[in-house]
Amino acid sequence: MRVLSGIQPTGQLHIGNYLGAIQQWVDLQTKHDCFFAVVDLHALTVQQDPKEFGRATMEKVIELISAGLDPEKCTIFLQSHVKEHAELAWIFNTITPVSELERMTQYKDKSKKNKENINAGLLTYPILQAADILLYQAQGVPIGKDQIQHLELTRTIARKFNNLYGNTFVEPEALVLPEGAKIMSLVEPKKKMSKSDGAASYVSLFEEPESIRKKFMRATTDAGKEITYNPAKKPGVSNLLVMYSLFAEQSIKDTEKQFQGKGYAALKKEEAELLIDKLEPFRKKKKELQSRDLYLKEVLKRGAEKAHSVASQTMEAVRSKLGLLSL
Ligand code: TYM
């Protein structure tokens, strides 16, 4: 199976990204032909400081490798290194109704949050995402729940192009985990954990131990004192239970049993210690990679070459289907 997924370069890589997406990527890389992109062009829908942007992009590459991606087992690349992404996005622009884009939840949320910069890229963002996926003829796309709507639109675009110009694209499937696909904010557990909310709402994958302890101790919990899984009535505790179970690799039922008769404080305390322990290797690996500039450049160079060899083939087929002349 061909697999593709992507992540934005800006903001912290948090445990929501990890449990919903990256952990799947690490698992899939040993079984499938995987492509993972740091989507730097997507991040430009928010104005970036050019000096900081390059650093953040490289840091995301470091973080993905630290979290378990192995450049020997999968293809890691920057979206902007493969020009076909922007080219195919333009073509898809011409077959996607504006009304479909205006329906996207993420567009509605983001334009509400950034009233002063509702640029066209914010609206056409999912078209570029469709190009990311369809260029590689990916069958599987490992993502968290918040990206399902974009994947559905990708499928619609693939179908529409195939109907208009003849069979060209594979219709990809979303690979969404039963647990972990939507990790909630530590502060407002009815909202998803997001890098764009305050730092208290998420735990970074590379967070220092003292800060992890503080964030868990201050996490919002619910009325009562029973530690039971009930997302509607106990969103805070349920979110803590989900994260604990995933990091401890045990069922939610077993986690409930483990904390039976104990209070919220015990759960928070033990959860913080569990995470400190589990995240330690990631922190270590990140420090080690930070000084390996040449190696990282080499990884990206190889990644871009491999990605380009696939993307250019698809693009050639698309050009020919559309009647765009070659030289
Ligand atoms: P991004 O960078 O916001 O997030 C990267 C991945 O993390 C998942 N995720 C979560 N999973 C569980 N709980 C959460 N609280 C949580 N927050 C984020 C996301 O679902 C995602 O899988 N548009 C995409 C990037 C993208 C992409 C692509 C993804 C661009 N092109 C092609 C797949 C295929 C985004 O902004 O993800």
Long-range contacts made by residues 255-258, C-beta under 8 angstroms, separation at least 24?
256/227, 256/228, 256/229
pLDDT for res 196: 86
Entry pTM: 0.97
| Predicted pLDDT of residue 271 | 98
User: Which residues have a Cβ under 8 Å from the Cβ of 327 and sit 6 or more positions away?
Assistant: none
Choose which residue among 26, 139, 143, 195 to substitute to test ligand 1 binding: the one with the highest number of ligand atoms within 8 A of its C-beta. Answer: 143
Token couple for 145: 């729940």
Asked if 136 and 82 count as a contact pair (C-beta separation under 8 A), the reply is no
How many whole angstroms separate alpha carbon 104 and alpha carbon 100?
7
Separation of CA 45 and ligand 1 centre (Å): 15
End-to-end C-alpha distance for the chain, whole angstroms: 33
Q: Outline where 135-181 has alpha helix (H).
A: 148-165
> Using one digit for the tens of pLDDT, what is the confidence trace for 60-73?
999 999 999 999 99
User: In a 3-state reduction of DSSP, which class is residue 2?
Assistant: strand
Active site residue 191: no
Annotation says 301 is catalytic: no
If pLDDT is split at 50, 70 and 90, which confidence band does 114 have? confident
The mean pLDDT of 19-42, rounded to a whole number, is: 98
Q: Which amino acid appears at position 36 of this protein?
A: F
Dihedral in degrees, nearest 10, Cα atoms 47, 20, 59, 11: 30
> In this model, does residue 278 exceed pLDDT 90?
yes
Q: State the catalytic residue, choosing from 73, 145, 160, 195.
A: 195
What tokens appear for 208 in the block?
A: 């220092």
